Amino acid sequence: PAALIARLEELLEEQKRHAATGDLAEVAVTDRCFHAEIVRHAGNQILARLYDQLRDRQLRMGVAVMQSQPHRIAKNITEHAEILDRIKAGDAEGAAHCVRQHLSWVRVLVRGEAR
């Protein structure tokens, strides 16, 4: 997992830089890449290919969400840091819990509520 951790740290720093400059397209790219790295390192090639096929749709949705809910940018960065901390600690269960929490806001968004 050392390569995964290094890449996630790099992506998190990139995401912070893009957020600071207000570059929503690049924030969306780094956000998606953060998740894609985790999916790739899970070792399920079918899932990784499926995830890659969703790339364009995820990027469009990511920018749209950040434009409509700018508070999500800082929240995503914080949640990514929490996921990374759990991975660094070797806490797979804790990391999975953080990912579930991180993704739970999508359900809220679909219902039209703010989180």
Q: pLDDT tens-digit profile of 7-53? A: 999 999 999 999 999 999 999 999 999 999 999 999 999 999 998 99
Residue 84 confidence (pLDDT): 97
Superfamily of domain covering 2-111: GntR ligand-binding domain-like (1.20.120.530)
Domains of the chain: which residue ranges?
Answer: 2-111
The answer to whether the beta carbons of residues 48 and 82 sit under 8 Å apart is no
Tens-digit pLDDT profile for residues 43-88? 999 999 998 998 888 888 888 888 888 988 999 999 999 999 999 9
Residue 113 confidence (pLDDT): 52
Token pair, residue 75, equals 């929240």
The answer, yes or no, to whether residue 6 has pLDDT greater than 70, is yes
Residue 115 confidence (pLDDT): 46
Query: Global pTM?
Result: 0.86
User: Distance between CA 4 and CA 11 in Å, rounded?
Assistant: 10
Q: Which residue has the tokens 């957020």?
A: 19
Token pair, residue 32, equals 């998606």
CB atoms within 10 A of CB 114: 9
